Amino acid sequence: MVGQDTLHLADVNPEYEQLLQAMGGKAPDLGAFPDVYTLRTFIVEAKKNMTATIGKPEGVEEEDIQVPMRDGAEITVRVYSPEKPPSGGSPLIVMFHGGGFVLGGLENEELNCRLFCERLGFVALNVDYRLAPEHVFPTPVNDCWHALKWAAAHASELNADPSKGFVVGGISAGGNMAAVCGHLARDEKLSPPLTGLFLSIPALLPKEAVPEKYKSKYLSLEQNKNAAILSEKAIDLFMSNYKPDPASPLWVPFLWPTGHAHLPPTFFQICGQDPLRDEGLLFEEILREECGVKTKLDVYPGLPHSFWTLFPGMEVSRRCVEDTVRGVGWLLEQVKGR
């Protein structure tokens, strides 16, 4: 049950507490940066540190492709392919990076995409959607949807076989857009159909849109408003640049007009000290209990939003990276079990 029973998930993780003490008791808060441009530089360096700490999986080929959008622009999609594809064909995964709709790029999901190729045989697409404030809502989410449709239409050219698995996934803001795309794919009958969703620390339900019946369970935003990395101040910074339409389901997939039934199996990752914790837990509960959707839920108690990115040296961060591969592997198992 989400609500009072999950408040304990914010109790600090011992390994993270030791790291905080070594850092003088204060972890970075993305809301403390003066603007998104300064923050972008910080995030690029953090990603370089993560790759250097964890390493770059080998046995993977990569190629950048320019994909046309409906407004005439082109975005870059980096395609990762296994040097030795599975004998039965490669499944396909499309990934949307995090960064509050204003940060990040192809470097964000390089590690995951390479691991999905090396360990699971995927052809992985890393989408460099356009960012706010240069491109406000709904441009980023529209880019993601059109990239997903492009992937479906060009799977054979990518040497992928979606019948082996066709997953869309995202981290944080990317998780928001992956959830949106999952609903659009169902409603618009994307062909071939998606077989799985990967929603990591997703933004799904902003506070101003919370229905009355869920307000007693929507506690993490207040509990974790001063948390490290993603504070309430950081959320406000991102939203003031993204400028979403509060009435649009392209911003609030939790309240999708046609509901959530018949979504594909969904893998969630949730952090205990994350302001977004309870909206993710609520959504997982609704999918599983009310909609009959198969779910897998990994929770990281006492850890802040996207902890593995800024603190890759922690053992729990390394475990999270491995859990990610296992979770996406679980999505493939659901295809085989149909």
pLDDT digits (tens, 9 = 90+) for 126-157: 999 999 999 999 999 999 999 999 999 999 99
Phi, psi (deg, nearest 5) at residue 200: -105, 125
Query: With pLDDT > 70 as the criterion, what percentage of the chain qualifies?
Result: 100
* Catalytic hit among 146, 183, 260, 305: 305
Q: pLDDT value at position 50? A: 74
User: Is there a contact between 307 and 44 (Cβ–Cβ < 8 Å)?
Assistant: no
Q: pLDDT value at position 189? A: 98
In angstroms, the CA 300 to CA 273 distance is 9
Q: pLDDT value at position 158? A: 97
Judged against a pLDDT cut of 90, whether residue 52 lies above it is answered with no
> pTM of the full predicted structure?
0.97
* Catalytic hit among 90, 172, 200, 317: 172
User: Is there a contact between 185 and 238 (Cβ–Cβ < 8 Å)?
Assistant: no
Longest dimension (CA), the chain: 52
In angstroms, the CA 126 to CA 77 distance is 6
Mean pLDDT of 104-122: 95
Mean pLDDT of 273-278: 98
Judged against a pLDDT cut of 80, whether residue 230 lies above it is answered with yes
Q: pLDDT value at position 194? A: 98
Per CATH, which fold does 4-49+70-333 belong to?
Answer: Rossmann fold (3.40.50)
Torsion of CA 139, 77, 284, 297, to 10 degrees: -150
70, 119, 257 from 199: Cα distances, Å: 25, 19, 20
Q: 156-190 pLDDT, tens per residue?
A: 999 999 999 999 999 999 999 999 999 999 999 99
Mean pLDDT of 292-309: 97
Confidence of residue 254 (pLDDT cuts 50, 70, 90): very high
Judged against a pLDDT cut of 80, whether residue 236 lies above it is answered with yes
Mean pLDDT of 92-115: 95
Told to judge if 172 belongs to the known catalytic residues of this protein, a careful annotator would answer yes
Phi, psi (deg, nearest 5) at residue 330: -60, -40
Told to judge if 236 belongs to the known catalytic residues of this protein, a careful annotator would answer no
Query: With pLDDT > 90 as the criterion, what percentage of the chain qualifies?
Result: 87
Told to judge if 274 belongs to the known catalytic residues of this protein, a careful annotator would answer yes
In angstroms, the CA 4 to CA 218 distance is 9
pLDDT mean across residues, the chain: 95
Mean pLDDT of 208-234: 96
Q: What would the DSSP string read from start to end of 253-269?
A: GGG-TT-STTPPPEEEE
Give the domain ranges of the chain.
4-49+70-333
Judged against a pLDDT cut of 90, whether residue 226 lies above it is answered with yes
Judged against a pLDDT cut of 80, whether residue 338 lies above it is answered with no
Mean pLDDT of 17-46: 88
